[in-house]
């Protein structure tokens, strides 16, 4: 997979709402100052989205979720999987390192 192409696909199709930093603060929301008053999902830093299975994320991109419409006509299945892989790669980079539990 070409991560640069996946990033481009994300920025063109998803970043307008979810933001370049995947924080849900894209240009259409702008901290509530944009045309949309409902904050898009925070894809990095929200445990619910970080735990979301890749297949569930692919389904949401394909059929829509909440106020987000379907992207099936804008992105091929391969491109949708690339976007999912890009999001998951960013979630992994942002995940804090967990220290092993102390043995007693």
CATH of the domain at 77: 1.10.760.10
Residue 95 has what pLDDT? 67
Count of CB atoms within 10 A of residue 18's CB?
Answer: 26
Count of structural domains, the chain = 1
pLDDT in tens, 14-66: 999 999 999 999 999 988 888 887 899 999 999 999 999 999 999 999 999 99
Q: Is residue 53 part of a domain?
A: yes
Residue 42 has what pLDDT? 97
Q: At residue 84, does pLDDT exceed 80?
A: yes
Phi (first) and psi of residue 9, to 5 degrees: -60, -40
Segments of the chain assigned E as strands: none
| pLDDT-derived band at 7, boundaries 50, 70, 90 | very high
Residue 102 has what pLDDT? 58
Residue 34 has what pLDDT? 81
In whole angstroms, give the CA distance from residue 24 to residue 42.
4
Query: pTM to 2 decimals?
Result: 0.86
Q: Is residue 85 part of a domain?
A: yes
Residue numbers of the domain that contains 60: 3-17+43-94
């Amino acid at each position: 997979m070409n991560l640069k192409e996946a990033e481009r696909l994300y920025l063109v199709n998803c970043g307008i709402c979810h933001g370049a930093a995947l924080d849900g603060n894209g240009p259409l929301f702008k901290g509530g100052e944009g045309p949309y008053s409902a904050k898009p999902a925070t894809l990095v830093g929200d445990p619910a989205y970080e735990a979301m299975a890749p297949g569930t994320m692919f389904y949401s991109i394909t059929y829509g979720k909440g106020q987000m419409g379907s992207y099936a006509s804008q992105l091929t299945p391969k491109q949708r999987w690339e976007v999912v892989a890009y999001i998951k790669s960013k979630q992994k980079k942002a995940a804090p390192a967990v220290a092993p539990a102390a043995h007693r």
